[in-house]
Amino acid sequence: MTALASSIPPSWYLLLASAIFCIGLFGVLTRRSALYFLMSVELMMNAANINFVAFALYYGDLTGQVFALFVIALAAAEVAIGIGIILVLYRNFGTTDVTVPAEMRW
Amino acid sequence: MAAAFVGALTVFLAPDEWAGRLAFAISLIPFVGSLYLWSGFEAGGNALLGGEIAYATQIEWLEVGGRTVSWFVGLDGISLPLFVLTTFLVPLAILSAWTPVDTRQSQFYGLMLFMEANLLGVFAALDFFLWFVFWEAVLVPMYFLIGIWGGPRRKYAAIKFFVYTNAASLLMFIGFMSLVFALGDSVSSFALPEIAQAIAAGDLSAWFGIPADRIAMVAFLAMFLGFAVKVPIVPFHTWLPDAHVQAPTPASVLLAGVLLKMGTYALLRFNFTMLPEQASMLAVPIAAIAVISVIYGAMLALAQKDLKRIVAYSSVSSMGYVILGLIVFTEYGIGGATFQMVAHGLISGLMFMAVGVIYNATHTRMVGDMAGMADRMPVTVGILVAGAFGYMGLPLMAGFAGEFFIFVGSLSAPALPYAPVFTALAMFGIVIVAGYLLSAMQSTLFGPFELETDYDVGPAAFHDVAPLAVLLVAIIVLGVAPDIFFEMIRDAALPVVEGVTIDG
Amino acid sequence: MVNGLPAVTALLPALLLAVTGLALLLVDTIRPDARSNTSMAVVGAVGSLAALAATVWLTASGGVSPDGGAVLLFADTVKVDTLALFFTAIFASVTALVLVAAHDYFHDHANPAAFYSLVTFAATGMALLAVANSLAVVFVALEMVSLPSYVLVAYLKQDRGSVEAGMKYFLVGALSSAVFLFGISLVYAATGSLILADIASASIDGLAGVLGVGVVMMIGGVAFKTASVPFHFWAPEAYEGAPAPVSAFLSSASKAAGFVVAFRVFTEAFPLEMAVSANVDWMLSFAVLAAVTMTLGNFAAAVQEEVKRMLAYSSIGHAGYALIGVAALTVDGPANGTVMGAAMAHLLVYGFMNTGAFLFVAMAERWGVGRTFADYAGLWRRAPVASVAMAVFMFSLAGLPPFAGFFSKYFLFQAAIDNGFLWLAGLGAINSVVSLYYYSRVVKALFLDDPESPSALDAIDVRPTALYAAVVFAAVATVLLLPGFGPVIETAEAAASALF
Amino acid sequence: MGTAPAQLFPEFITDTLGLDSVIGDVAASLVAAFVVGNIILAFTGVAGPWAKRKITAAFTDRIAVDRIGPYGLLIIPAAAVQLLAKELIIPEGVDRPSWDIAPILLPASALLGFSVIPMGQLGPINLHLADPEVGFALVFAFASIASVSLVMAGYASNNKYSLLGGLRAVAQNLAYEIPLIVTAMSVVIFAGTLQMSGVVGAQTETLVTIAGVSIPSWYAFVNPFAFVLFLTANMAEIGRNPFDIPEAPTEIVAGYQTEYSSAYFVLFYLGEFVHIFLGGAILAVTFLGGASGPGPESIGFIWFVVKIWGFFLFTQWARAALPRVRIDQLIEIGWKGMLVLSFANLVLTAVIVGVIA
Amino acid sequence: MSDWIAIGALAAVGLLIPIGMMTVSALLRPSVPETGKSTTYESGETPTGGTRIRFNIQYYMVALLFVVFDIETVLLFPWAVIYRPAVQAGVPMADLLWPMLAFVGILAVGLVWAWRSGAISWARSPRATSRKTTEDLN
């Protein structure tokens, strides 16, 4: 496995991660539904994870991989809370469109 | 001295019902304390210019950026009289508050005492930061005193007062700070003596490419403007009448009696003591401004119908005397100025109180409305008249002594060109003062009683008249024997004068 | 180490907070009948105060001294030094205040337990953030602060404002934390380590660009936590919509948490020299951020009609001031330590006065008087003590000399000037003048204005004791910090200087 | 760690055929995979249903299929052909792609689970496709993909029963995944590795010798408590009685597969059986010493099959004997009973291992 | 050779077999569409309402709990792996145990609390919904 993976130059990983990150960012900026927003954010975080794992391999230390594990955990927690908030959002506003609620002026 | 502070502060923390009496009782503590200090006072020279400092206590407070700020208090010949004056006026003011102030008394007296504490701090502090803190802390209670217990337009007056004085002190703060920065590392603290001596030693250096002398000039102007608002000198005086008219009697007593002195005191301490060259450079315009405010203030007073306004404007004019006395840079001038501060403090306090008493009885302050008060409230009116005479500078009254010294000083002013001219003009001011005061008295108090009221206007209560009497006595005492203060004032003033004559 | 105690002792504050949070859950488990409100408030307050005490004790006992005496734990991922303790003190005290105040604010809430425990858990995260010496810990702790905060903001599930605020806070927060994380990953990619010191010493071969992007992204994350431009726009919504105690918590403690990241991470992981050499000039970007932030915050605050919203914007402005602490740094500049220390001191003072102010708003909400300036008119007749306290907060926030706010601000500006950042200090001074305007509006409303209808204040029938206690305590602290400013500023300065 | 793992199946092929290149590896793996896959399918798809009918009949004292072929053995191919030839009815409003993917996913994931299972040797061949370091975690990961397919099916086919079934499937899987894995973790503590071969190898040591009969240290013997827990959780994981609420034919008419017919239905049916056998395999590997047993290693596969069938028998017995739990009971048992017990077991195991080691 | 090749291969096979069966049946089966057939089954009744409905929040509770504990197990696995070797290497057992115990303990508190506040009892309790997110702090 190591042989297989490390035969790929690190810059490719960087490019992949950046691409995924940008996709997520695009989703964040264009989607109006909170759920899509959530997914996009997850995408961004996983892009970061790719970097961590890839460069953990590249530098040959485990820090990155372990941290990726933590990030996964945190991302999960974040989603959990996010969905909770979206839930109450839906209960109060009857929609998950983030642009609808405007009780307070921006 | 510590006793004085603690006493005043504790009352602020423990105000409650029957606050009036309690506050009065407690306010006597600092008074006694200050008297004790006075009796034990034997320091020569000017605190800032290397003279010895009485009751100096210095406690390291905090240290930042290589400069220490410390709890550094002490008295010298200039600050002690004002110190005593404050402690003397406050109890009387509190006494005079018993009648008019009926709402939320505890807070009122609390604020009064809090203000006293800060006033004492202002006069005693010898560290810039400490001083500035007290200086600003005085404004806050005054703001509330006017804003809450004041007259109908109190909001306007309070905010005007607050904005004016805050802007001013910001200006002054910037000015002083630029000095400190310009001094750079030559000073290791904010202690005034050190800074003053450093400046005298010519440690001012260019800062951010600005040559030292220009910095000094800028700083001088900034501080002068800042204090001028406080004094107030003519272009910046407009907040004063509003504040006075709207403020409750005790507040305006302190306002006129002490707060104005803060301005002149600061002028003397900072501008004229620290930056004598700049002062002497600007002597002529400053003197001019002083004289202008004498005349102009008097004129305005002449035009007023409201007794309180009259007194207010008149205090503008007599502050002009003080400035004049300061700027001439003679032993007598500065001494006299300081003395005049005290005197005017007493007199204007007296006037305001008397007016307040009458107002409480008649609920009007309009000249003419209250004609014939003399036979209704003989004692009060008598004292009022006496005070007026004191204002006019009648001999044997404190006012006379102060003004006399000032004129003596200014006539023989070496540093000030055209001194006689200014003096003459200023003297002319007295005439106007006499004019309007007499007319006011005449048209107001004597003659038949015309004001028809649904209640009978009788003599004022004892605790109203008592402070008036006490003040009058004090005024006369000072007038008869000015030396009790003047001596120490003079030897505190001398170094300042030398300061300018040396490099002047 | 603290006189021979095990090294973990250095983490005592954080541990205490965590234990408190769990204890709260247990208390609620034992007595889930919502009447446990009081007991939970007590437990929470006691716990956070214990944490505070532990912090002070650690600082005083000099066990962890800034000069190399910092305690490194868990393979250097945790570093307890004076900086950390200083900030932990802020967090603990704010937490205590908020918890006490919450007792009255949530008096009729169905289940306050979650609130208390969430606050304490968030505080734990902050304490952890303060000691984090590795980007991994930084991120984990940061999330540990954020996640509870999201819930807290949206805590009033029936209140549309609160929910909307929570939603917006969450959206921005999730986004910014993702950005922050990606920044970390880039830094890791460039340097191959997450330990701050190693990052600093790592050799960046050709990946300087990556590093730069990473640093910029991390700045974004910090900007969010500190509610400063460009991630500031959640703040007004969140602070306004959230329950007032939560607003207090977020705007004081959470903000400070953001700053501890900024202070430690940027100075230790990307030291000034390296930042300049690898031209990753974060100081400059922070300077710009600070300038924009304080100006925007203050001027926006000046035009607000609602007190809470005004406070929200003003807290943005204060974030701008505090940012000077990381902005006005130059390579071996004379006053690097001073300026950062001053910023820390400012954060401490700010912690008290701002919390107090928001808690006063909480009291107003509890009373049911309105939210605008006009609604506060004449409050002082009904609540003199609280009003005086509020006046203290306002003047102190405005930086009027008699109060602690003046000192912290002044020293901040002075240090900035000493470091040659005259323009920043000037801007700050101008902004302070602006701020005086809108702060004094509150005081004016409280004391001078008359209520538009005499019955307007009859809503004030209750005397929320705990809220009163919290507010008054905050006020006393604000005042006492004036004479007590010496040790504070000196500790802060020493702690900050240790970073350079 | 026990004996070194025997040569893996694909490697065996490459060596025997002398292939040595990535292409060769891939080809060999494909061959191996195909073989293994077919063996499994032969078991599950053909023998499984038939045995199921027979066993159930035996329990309920009926005569099961006996018409077509000896003992009705050929019924299964016949049924398969018949089902494949049936019309595929696509109800309106189905969520098309996921409705189609679900039936593929279920058998595929279940089959994938076998990739890391050491199925013992059959003659010279070691039926073990791959042995990665994380095989143990991997097998659970594969196994739990099934629930995704179930919820896909339930949600996609626009039917309330299906929706309920899918949701129940998820809830159940979630509730029992944790106890399952935590219990398995106690095994990992024993083995000290996540490698399947290691886990199996660790069970070959002799635990005790009673009257000359040496009992191997199968974890079922070492820690029966964990074994029971795992057995239960496993039942729930694969959705058999008493935990078959996702289908619950008597309540929600076959839940997620209500709307499926023809080949799709076949696939689901098949997938479930594969899943059962995967569960059996996991159990065997984790607690019953994998392919180990009396006799030479070369017949290990036989033992393995025996163990799997034992488990299958057990499931069928449970199906006949135990009543189905309600969803709320299921959740409560899972979260309040199993979870706590499994954690207790974990701590216990840790302490024991710490003491004995 | 890499294990993953074999696994991938089996995955391919596992996908190919079902797809193959589908195609076979697609070739074999007839297609006689008819409206009656294509209605969804609802016990013989004509279906009422759609199925894209909001269902019991409880499923979300459970999912949330699952996320928490699943992640916990993920984080526990490394510990479990190194435990025995570490013990045999002579590391005192307490040092190995307390991290796990603390970790599990924290979660246990969370679980107990969730339990008590009704998050995991299927019958929906009023307090349950507001309690959902707390456990995520671990």
Long-range CB contacts (within 8 A, 24+) of A13-17: A13/A50, A13/A51, A13/A54, A13/A55, A13/A58, A14/A51, A14/A54, A14/C189, A14/C210, A16/A50, A17/A47, A17/A48, A17/A50, A17/A51, A17/A54, A17/C182, A17/C185
Residue C197 and residue C268 in contact, taking contact as beta carbons nearer than 8 Å = yes
Residue B302 and residue B391 in contact, taking contact as beta carbons nearer than 8 Å = no
Residue E32 and residue D87 in contact, taking contact as beta carbons nearer than 8 Å = yes
Around Cβ D134, how many Cβ atoms within 10 Å? Answer: 16
Rounded average pLDDT over A20-44:
88
pLDDT, one tens digit per residue, over C194-244 is 887 787 777 666 677 788 888 888 888 888 888 887 777 788 888 888 888
Q: Does residue D46 sit within a domain?
A: no
Number of domains, chain D: 1
The ipTM assigned to this model is: 0.76
Kindly state the tokens that stand for D14. 């490459």
Kindly state the tokens that stand for A17. 């991660």
The residue written with tokens 């640093």 in the block is C215
> Ranked by mean pLDDT, which of C126-130, E59-63, E117-121 comes out on top?
C126-130
pLDDT, one tens digit per residue, over D271-309 is 888 888 888 888 888 888 777 777 676 777 888 888 888
Owning domain of residue D255: 92-354
B261/B343 Cα distance (integer angstroms):
11
Helix B462-480 to helix B79-97 angle (10° resolution) is 160
User: For residue E84, which amino acid is it?
Assistant: R
State whether residue D21 is helix, strand or coil: coil
Half-sphere exposure of C295 (CA within 13 A, CB side): 12
Q: Does residue C453 sit within a domain?
A: yes
Q: Does C158 touch chain A if contact means CB atoms closer than 8 Å?
A: yes
Query: Taking all residues of chain D, what is their mean pLDDT, rounded to a whole number?
Result: 78
Residue C474 and residue C425 in contact, taking contact as beta carbons nearer than 8 Å = no
Q: Does residue C303 sit within a domain?
A: yes
Cross-chain CB nearest to B133 (options C338, C395, C402): C402
C65/E18 Cα distance (integer angstroms):
68
Higher pLDDT, D107 or D357: D107
Kindly state the tokens that stand for B504. 């002047």
Q: Which residues of A touch C309 (CB under 8 A)?
A: 104
Residue C223's closest CA among C270, C272, C179, C166?
C179
Tell which E residues from 17 to 36 touch D, by Cβ distance under 8 Å. 17-19, 21-22, 24-26, 28-32
Tell which C residues from 169 to 188 touch A, by Cβ distance under 8 Å. 170-171, 174-175, 177-179, 181-182, 184-186, 188
Burial per residue of C297-315, b for 16 or more beta-carbon CB atoms within 10 angstroms, e otherwise:
bbebbbebebbbbbbbbbb
C208: left (phi over 0), alpha (psi -120 to 50) or beta: alpha
Burial class of residue C8, CB neighbours in 10 A (0-12, 13-18, 19+): middle
User: For residue D347, which amino acid is it?
Assistant: V
Residue C399 and residue C432 in contact, taking contact as beta carbons nearer than 8 Å = yes
DSSP type of residue D256: G
D69/D78 Cα distance (integer angstroms):
10
C434/C295 Cα distance (integer angstroms):
9
> Does E touch C (3+ CB pairs < 8 Å)?
yes
**Residue in chain C nearest A101 by alpha carbon:** C164
The structural domains of chain A, with segments of one domain joined by +, span 10-93
In this complex, do A76 and E71 lie within 8 Å of one another by their Cβ atoms? yes
Owning domain of residue C309: 281-499
pLDDT, averaged per 10 consecutive residues of chain B (504 residues), comes to 52 50 68 70 59 63 63 72 78 73 69 76 77 80 78 76 80 80 69 74 65 77 81 75 77 78 80 75 80 82 77 80 78 78 82 78 68 70 78 71 77 68 77 76 66 59 74 77 72 65 41
Percent with pLDDT over 70 in chain D: 91
> Ranked by mean pLDDT, which of C91-95, D142-146, D332-336 comes out on top?
C91-95
Cross-chain CB nearest to C436 (options B144, B166, B181): B166
Q: Is the C-alpha dihedral spanning C254, C260, C263, C264 positive or negative?
A: negative
DSSP type of residue B74: E
Q: Does residue D242 sit within a domain?
A: yes
Residue C452 and residue C370 in contact, taking contact as beta carbons nearer than 8 Å = no
Q: Which residues of D touch E87 (CB under 8 A)?
A: 353-354, 357
The reported pLDDT for the residue numbered B338 is 80
Residue C153's closest CA among C145, C143, C144, C164?
C164
D222/D206 Cα distance (integer angstroms):
11
Q: Does residue D39 sit within a domain?
A: no
D299/B56 Cα distance (integer angstroms):
104
Residue A42's closest CA among B302, C178, B338?
C178
Q: Does E48 touch chain D if contact means CB atoms closer than 8 Å?
A: no
pLDDT, one tens digit per residue, over A33-69 is 888 888 999 999 999 999 898 888 888 888 888 888 8
Q: Does residue C188 sit within a domain?
A: no
Number of domains, chain C: 1
In this complex, do E116 and C144 lie within 8 Å of one another by their Cβ atoms? no
The structural domains of chain E, ordered by start, are 1-125 (1.20.58.1610)
The structure's pTM equals: 0.80
Residue C58 and residue C27 in contact, taking contact as beta carbons nearer than 8 Å = no
Residue E41's closest CA among E51, E33, E31?
E51
Q: Does residue D25 sit within a domain?
A: no
In this complex, do E5 and D25 lie within 8 Å of one another by their Cβ atoms? yes
Residue B118 and residue B141 in contact, taking contact as beta carbons nearer than 8 Å = yes
Largest Cα–Cα distance in chain C? 73
Task: Give the pLDDT band of residue A13 (cuts 50, 70, 90).
Answer: confident
D253/D246 Cα distance (integer angstroms):
10
Q: Does residue C274 sit within a domain?
A: no
Burial class of residue C114, CB neighbours in 10 A (0-12, 13-18, 19+): buried
C249/C243 Cα distance (integer angstroms):
10
Helix C234-241 to helix C307-327 angle (10° resolution) is 140
Rg (CA), chain B: 22
C355/C353 Cα distance (integer angstroms):
5
Residues in chain C, pLDDT under 70: 1-10, 31-36, 62-70, 75, 110, 203-206, 277-279, 451-462
The reported pLDDT for the residue numbered C317 is 87
The reported pLDDT for the residue numbered C498 is 75
B86/B266 Cα distance (integer angstroms):
15
Residue D256's closest CA among D180, D178, D148?
D148
Q: What angle do CA B451, B453, B455 make, to 5 degrees?
A: 135
Residue B380 and residue B459 in contact, taking contact as beta carbons nearer than 8 Å = yes
DSSP type of residue B104: S
Residue D112's closest CA among D151, D149, D165?
D149
C132/D17 Cα distance (integer angstroms):
57
Kindly state the tokens that stand for D182. 């935590």
* Strand pairing category for D121-122 and C78-80: unpaired
Rounded average pLDDT over E117-136:
54
In DSSP terms, D210 is beta-bridged to D213
CATH for A10-93, options being 2.40.30.110, 3.40.50.920, 1.10.10.60, 1.10.287.3510: 1.10.287.3510
Q: Does C110 touch chain E if contact means CB atoms closer than 8 Å?
A: yes
Distances (CA, A) of C500 to C215, C267, C271, C283: 19, 7, 8, 14
Long-range CB contacts (within 8 A, 24+) of D325-328: D325/D242, D325/D243, D325/D245, D326/D245, D327/D168, D327/D171, D327/D245, D327/E122, D328/E121, D328/E122, D328/E123
Q: Does residue D349 sit within a domain?
A: yes
* Strand pairing category for D213-216 and D206-210: antiparallel
Q: Does C147 touch chain A if contact means CB atoms closer than 8 Å?
A: yes
The residue written with tokens 């507040």 in the block is B251
How many Å lie between the alpha carbon of E127 and the closest alpha carbon of chain D?
17
The answer, yes or no, to whether residue D37 has pLDDT greater than 50, is: yes
How many Å lie between the alpha carbon of A100 and the closest alpha carbon of chain E?
20
C332/C335 Cα distance (integer angstroms):
8
The residue written with tokens 């040559």 in the block is B211
In this complex, do D353 and E100 lie within 8 Å of one another by their Cβ atoms? no
Q: Does E37 touch chain D if contact means CB atoms closer than 8 Å?
A: yes
The reported pLDDT for the residue numbered A20 is 92
A60: left (phi over 0), alpha (psi -120 to 50) or beta: left
In DSSP terms, B366 is beta-bridged to B306
